[in-house]
Amino acid sequence: MGRFTLQSRIDCGDRTTSVALLEIRELSIRYRTAGAGVQAIDGVSLELEAGGSLGLVGESGCGKSTLALATLRLLPPQAELAGTIRFAGQDVGGMKERQLRQIRWRRAAYVPQSAQNALVPVHSLRAQFRATAAAHRMRATEADRRAAALMRRVELDPALLERFPHELSGGMRQRAIIAMALLFEPELLVADEPTTGLDVIVQRQTVNLLRDLRAERNLALLFISHDIGVVAELCERIAVLYAGRVMETGATADVLGSPSHPYTIGLRRSFPDIRDPERPAVSIAGHPPRLAEALAACPFAPRCPFAQPVCVAVQPPLVAIAEGHAAACHFAGDAAAMRSAANRPGLWDGARAA
Amino acid sequence: MAFWRYAGRRGLHTAVTLLLLVGFMFVLFRMIPGDPTTMMLGTGELPAEAQQRLRVLWGLDRPLWQQFIAYALNLLQGNLGMSFYFRRPVSEVIAPMLANTVLLMAPVVILAIVIGVAGGSWLGWRRGGRAEEIGAVLALIPRALPVFWTGIVLLALFAYQFRWFPIGGIREAFFFPENWWQRLPFFDITRHLVLPVATGVLASVADPLMIQRTALLEVRHEDFMVLARARGLSGRAQRRLARRNAILPVLTYSAIMVGFAFGGQVLLEVVFNWPGIGRLMVDSVTQRDYPVAQAAFLMMAAVVVFLNLLVDLAYGWLDPRIRGG
Ligand SMILES: Nc1ncnc2c1ncn2[C@@H]1O[C@H](COP(=O)(O)OP(=O)(O)O)[C@@H](O)[C@H]1O
Ligand code: SF4
Ligand SMILES: [Mg+2]
């Protein structure tokens, strides 16, 4: 299985170990602003294998979109980047625009957060498929042929290709973008909250569609959502992001089965559980910190019910708890105790120790 | 299909607007004290009996609404009455002047918009740079200056000093071409057009330019522009996309601009001695040539209404979202 092209790429590269499709090392991203700037991503390392799936969860403002855009170097000019991003072994950070164009959409496609305004309002869908094709030297006839097939694949009538974005519903637009994303059979799909803002039924359809596409095309998926339940359904691995840092990461079953960071524990409780529908959803009181300000050593400390004085003094490192499962909490070793304490009523509404 | 329905609706609006306009002009000119029988001779020295005969002859004794219908019917046939001053049918007086005005105004408006859109897009894409600041200031200076001042400066420089262009008017009474390019058709008229067109463009280019610049800055941050990059579109294709989406506010503005252009047009025609309808309007008011004045006003307003229709149609053509509602 897998991509033979990728294999050959690895062979002629200077690395001999197996190379992840997407490899992010110590990535930090800062937006220059009128004030002190915004540290949107702070020392994040992630990996995604070819054909694999990684879910990025976290509340709004945690830096998820910033990370998604960074993978394809789509950030606005005021964003400063440190660390490395490698796609199929190539350093994306050092690429010229011309080289980036070889990767963008052809090998890595992107489904943006707001399908609302992501399609060009003044062009028909067909025109947008064709423009995408033309950017990669694909003929219009070939583009038309593929567009019709892909529209059918995402269960849209190919006749809709003649329509303009405003004539479609939000769910249809979302599907049209997914169809367009498949135009060149990419190896990676970065989907930034593709289900946000859609109603429950359409959300479900989108999740099912992405799952089926992944299976049938060996598509690697970087899936972003604030909804931990949706991520659990689609992704083999999860990274929980808070204030631009990874709080916990590991196989989905491990992270959700035995969450070892208070933020993950809280986040999981704030969405209804399909396996335990009786349990009420309790949200974590407070808001994620504004990233323009200096953070506590553990950024979650101001909202954490288990916080101790050490939490504001010493930054907790991301340490392994088990094989392939890590958390950035001083008390990750006592995770079992925190998990059982988490059921105490009232724990999450504004409690803070320290 | 949707476009043609939209065009039909717009056309209907225009027809109604024109009708209201004609009515308004009619009433406006009836509100001027006296009537044509007194105005024609200036001071009303006509014997009362002769005046009364003329009134009956011209239908001025009939109710106003009947007069209006007669007026509107005449208008439809292109009959605008007789000029008191020229003693010729108004339509004959006005037609060439109207053509001259359009000849001057069309290039001014088109060039101002084309240059404004191109320049504004360029500035917007280079946001924050030195070139952008300088460009914006350069465009704003002539906008702040009075049209007649700019016109006179251009005349002093390029007509009197360098003698590159004629001082005014629309063509030389006796023009003898000296070489092949002077023999080209329209050479003389084009030569006369340069300075007034330049003045008009200088005065009016800043607004479309700044609007396009702002619109482009906004469009650059739209999600579809981010997706355009993600789709791998080239820099050129991205810029074209931004320009295409940013052009709509300029288009809205150009409808307003056309209206304002007429104000500037009158000044242009006076400064450059251009035999257009703006100057005719000024002259006819001073000469109390009231049928000509009324027709000139009407023509100007009608041109604005028609240009607005054109802009609306272009908008519907360029923005599929407009056609619906
Ligand atoms: N262009 C920008 N300029 C400055 N700050 C930005 C910009 N884009 C995002 N941010 C800030 O970066 C942080 C992370 O934003 P984002 O990546 O959109 O988070 P998420 O997708 O998780 O909601 C937020 O605090 C946001 O305000
Ligand atoms: S380090 Fe302290 S504050 Fe941070 S999550 Fe763990 S217990 Fe809470
Ligand atoms: Mg986001």
Q: From CA B119, how far away is CA B123, in angstroms rounded?
A: 6
When comparing pLDDT for B316 and B178, which is higher?
Answer: B316
CATH 3.40.190.10 is right for the domain spanning A8-107+184-341: no
Same domain? B45 vs B33: yes
Q: From CA A169, how far away is CA A103, in angstroms rounded?
A: 30
| A254 within 8 A of A325, measured Cβ to Cβ | yes
Instruction: Say what the pLDDT of residue A7 is.
Output: 39
Same domain? B293 vs B263: no
Q: How confident is the model at residue B312 (pLDDT cuts 50, 70, 90)?
A: confident
Close Cβ partners of B292 (under 8 Å, ≥ 6 residues apart) = B83, B84, B85, B86, B90, B93, B94, B280, B284
Q: What is the CATH number of the domain that holds B193?
A: 1.10.3720.10
Q: Which of A72, A132, A162 to mutate to test the interface with B (most CBs of B within 10 A)?
A: A132
Q: What residues does each domain of chain A span? A: 8-107+184-341
Instruction: Say what the pLDDT of residue B143 is.
Output: 80
Please answer yes or no on whether A106 and B232 come within 8 Å at the CB atom: yes
Instruction: Say what the pLDDT of residue B45 is.
Output: 63
Which candidate from B224, B226, B244 shows the least CB-CB separation from A74?
B226
**Closest-CA residue of chain A to B230:** A104
Q: How confident is the model at residue B36 (pLDDT cuts 50, 70, 90)?
A: low
How many Å lie between the alpha carbon of B250 and the closest alpha carbon of chain A? Answer: 15
Same domain? B216 vs B185: yes
Close Cβ partners of A269 (under 8 Å, ≥ 6 residues apart) = A279, A281, A282, A342, A348
Same domain? B166 vs B266: yes
**Spatial CA neighbour of A251 closest among A49, A115, A79:** A49
Instruction: Say what the pLDDT of residue B43 is.
Output: 53
**Spatial CA neighbour of A120 closest among B183, B233, B84, B89:** B233
Same domain? B46 vs B108: no
**Cα A118 to ligand 3 centroid, rounded to whole Å:** 14
Q: From CA B130, how far away is CA B323, in angstroms rounded?
A: 40
Same domain? B51 vs B116: no
Please answer yes or no on whether A136 and B232 come within 8 Å at the CB atom: yes
Model confidence, pTM? 0.81
Same domain? B157 vs B252: yes
Please answer yes or no on whether A120 and B245 come within 8 Å at the CB atom: yes
Residue pLDDT, tens place only, B3-33: 889 899 999 999 999 889 888 888 887 777 6
Which of A3-7, B72-76, B297-301 is predicted least confidently? A3-7
For ligand 2, which residues put their CB under 6 angstroms from it? A 261-262, 298, 300-301, 304, 306-307, 311, 316, 329-331
* DSSP string covering A60-78: TTSSHHHHHHHHTT---TT
Cα–Cα distances in angstroms (integers) from residue B84 to residues A284, B27, B49, in the given order: 86, 20, 21
Number of domains in chain B: 2
Same domain? B279 vs B303: no
- Note the Cα B307 to chain centre separation in Å: 8
How many Å lie between the alpha carbon of A135 and the closest alpha carbon of chain B? Answer: 5
Place of tokens 């599907």: A175
Residue pLDDT, tens place only, B169-190: 777 767 777 777 777 777 788 8
List the domain range (segments joined by +) for residue B35.
1-85+289-325
Cα–Cα distances in angstroms (integers) from residue A313 to residues A200, A297, A316, in the given order: 43, 6, 9
φ, ψ of residue B55 to 5 degrees: the values are -55, -45
Same domain? B112 vs B252: yes
How many Å lie between the alpha carbon of A181 and the closest alpha carbon of chain B? Answer: 8
Mean pLDDT by 10 residues, chain A (354 residues): 39 53 96 91 95 94 94 93 95 92 95 83 96 95 96 96 93 94 96 87 90 92 92 94 96 94 90 70 83 85 92 93 94 89 80 47
Q: From CA B265, how far away is CA B263, in angstroms rounded?
A: 5
What is the three-class DSSP state of B129?
coil
Q: From CA A329, how far away is CA A316, in angstroms rounded?
A: 5
Same domain? B46 vs B184: no
Q: From CA A216, how far away is CA A222, in angstroms rounded?
A: 16
When comparing pLDDT for B58 and A178, which is higher?
Answer: A178
Same domain? B265 vs B253: yes
Which candidate from A119, A166, A167 shows the least CB-CB separation from B224?
A119
Instruction: Say what the pLDDT of residue B303 is.
Output: 81
Closest ligand 1 atom to Cα of A68: 17
Please answer yes or no on whether B227 and A76 come within 8 Å at the CB atom: no
| A50 within 8 A of A6, measured Cβ to Cβ | yes
Same domain? B50 vs B103: no
Instruction: Say what the pLDDT of residue A115 is.
Output: 66
